[in-house]
């Protein structure tokens, strides 16, 4: 297998790029290539190489990425944004014929998880506690307040609002694009990071409490060795067949975890999971290279805290752009 890794939509995912760079060093070598639409994305200047691509909604997008994989000897492709996951699910066999393993869940899973209404009903049908979710046309006459209104296919907490009464509900149903309504879950919030092999078998599960969240991403959090949360992670991965990294978002309500969203991709808080001893990038690289990775479910450092801060990459005018095969510019100053 070719040794290099391609991470799509690099954007601000500097920690993920660096985690794969470390994984490749431990696994015997290779380079990390990122794609992006914007030459000022910080990951572009941290990766070993960077290539410009069109938006994932462009019909030419899969062909452009396939060409990059050939030119840069990519053996593992890691999609990172929700919109493109169904695209790569459909194209996974094509990439495999070119020797590229795609770390993406099956098409049914990616399409279901991109739709919060379908996610809720798919989990409930398989006996997993999930936030009850309605389309506006299906709301019962007296649903009970508070409720939560969010976009059916949104992400990052954008346009998601609590509705405390009928007046607020009516406003947000008109304001939020293509909304769904969920029961309001009161309790501590957790993300459960789960890693599955290419056959969909769960190998690692790490629950993290989201103590402080900023712009939809954990700002301060801690690992929690809770058997109920670990079991829930395994159950969700079996209910919705997954490949690679997935993250399950839930709240613990009256002592029981209730799922309200699943994202079949790397989470924004993955650095904490890796630091706790569950190295998803290294496991993914090893699996893509045909090596065995044993299951270590429940084995991670408990009560490890993460507190985040902003940093910057400084670039000269000449360094702004895509390397597309040349080593990326290294500007050491950060702040």
Tokens of 254: 């009256």
CA dihedral 31, 37, 40, 43 (to 10 degrees): -30
Structural contact between residues 260 and 152, judged by C-beta atoms closer than 8 angstroms: no
At 332 the pLDDT is 37
Please tell me the CATH code under which domain 4-104+312-319 is placed: 3.40.50.20
Strands 74-78 and 101-102: parallel
- Domain 110-114+186-307 sits in CATH at 3.30.470.20
Residue 197, both tokens:
């092999």
Q: Tokens in use for 139?
A: 């709301």
**Sheet architecture: strand order including 179-183:** 133-134, 179-183, 147-151, 161-163
For 273, the 3-state DSSP assignment is helix
Question: For residues 96, 99, 103 and 106, what is the CA-based torsion angle, rounded to 10 degrees?
Answer: 10
pLDDT at 329: 47
> Other C-beta atoms within 10 Å of 98: how many?
12
User: Bridge partners of 189?
Assistant: 251
Distant-in-sequence contacts of 113-116, Cβ < 8 A, 24+ apart: 113/82, 113/85, 113/240, 113/262, 113/263, 113/264, 114/82, 114/83, 114/85, 114/86, 114/153, 115/152, 115/153, 116/150, 116/151, 116/152, 116/153, 116/154, 116/180, 116/182, 116/260, 116/261
User: Which run of H or of E encompasses 22?
Assistant: helix 14-27
Q: Is the dihedral of CA 118, 105, 196, 71 positive or negative?
A: negative
User: What span, in angstroms and rounded, lies between the C-alpha atoms of 229 and 256?
Assistant: 9
User: If the chain, 335 residues long, is cut into consecutive pieces of 10 residues, what is the mean pLDDT of each piece?
Assistant: 89 96 96 96 95 95 96 97 96 96 98 97 97 96 93 83 96 97 96 98 98 88 98 97 97 97 96 98 97 96 96 87 61 38
CA angle (35 as vertex; 320, 310 as ends), nearest 5: 65
Domains of the chain: which residue ranges? 4-104+312-319, 110-114+186-307, 133-183
Question: Which option is the CATH number for 133-183: 3.40.50.620, 2.60.40.1220, 3.40.640.10, 3.30.1490.20?
Answer: 3.30.1490.20
For residue 123, what pLDDT is reported?
97
User: Across the strands, what pairs with 214?
Assistant: 217
Tell which residue, 333, 279, 269, has the closest CA to residue 307.
Answer: 269
Which structure tokens are listed for 154?
Answer: 């949104």
């Amino acid at each position: 297998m070719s040794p290099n890794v391609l991470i799509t939509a690099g954007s601000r995912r500097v920690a993920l790029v660096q985690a794969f760079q470390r994984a490749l060093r431990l696994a015997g070598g290779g380079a990390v290539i990122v794609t992006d639409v914007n030459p000022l994305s910080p990951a572009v200047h941290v990766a070993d190489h960077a290539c410009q691509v069109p938006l994932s909604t462009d019909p030419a997008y899969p062909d452009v990425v396939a060409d990059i994989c050939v030119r840069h000897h990519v053996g593992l492709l890691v999609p990172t944004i929700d919109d493109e996951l169904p695209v790569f699910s459909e194209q996974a066999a094509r990439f495999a014929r070119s020797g590229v393993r795609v770390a993406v869940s099956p098409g049914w899973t990616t399409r279901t998880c991109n739709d919060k209404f379908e996610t809720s009903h798919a989990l409930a049908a398989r006996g997993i506690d999930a936030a009850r979710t309605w389309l506006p046309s299906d709301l019962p006459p007296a649903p009970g307040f508070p409720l939560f209104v969010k976009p059916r296919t949104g992400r990052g907490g954008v346009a998601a609002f609590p509705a405390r009464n009928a007046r607020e509900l009516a406003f947000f149903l008109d304001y939020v694009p293509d909304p769904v309504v969920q029961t309001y879950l009161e309790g501590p919030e957790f993300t459960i990071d789960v890693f599955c092999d290419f056959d969909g078998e769960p190998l690692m599960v790490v629950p993290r409490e989201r103590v402080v969240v900023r712009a939809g991403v954990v700002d301060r959090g801690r690992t929690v060795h809770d058997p109920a949360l670990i079991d829930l992670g395994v159950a969700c991965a079996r209910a919705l067949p997954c490949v690679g990294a997935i993250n399950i978002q839930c709240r613990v309500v009256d002592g029981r975890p209730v799922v309200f969203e699943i994202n079949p991709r790397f989470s924004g808080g993955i650095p904490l999971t890796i630091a706790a001893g569950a190295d998803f990038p290294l496991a993914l690289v090893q699996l893509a290279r045909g090596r065995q990775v044993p299951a270590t479910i429940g084995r991670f450092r408990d009560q490890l805290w993460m507190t985040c801060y902003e940093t910057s990459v400084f670039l000269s005018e000449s360094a702004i752009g895509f390397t597309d095969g040349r080593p990326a510019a290294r500007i050491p100053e950060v702040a």
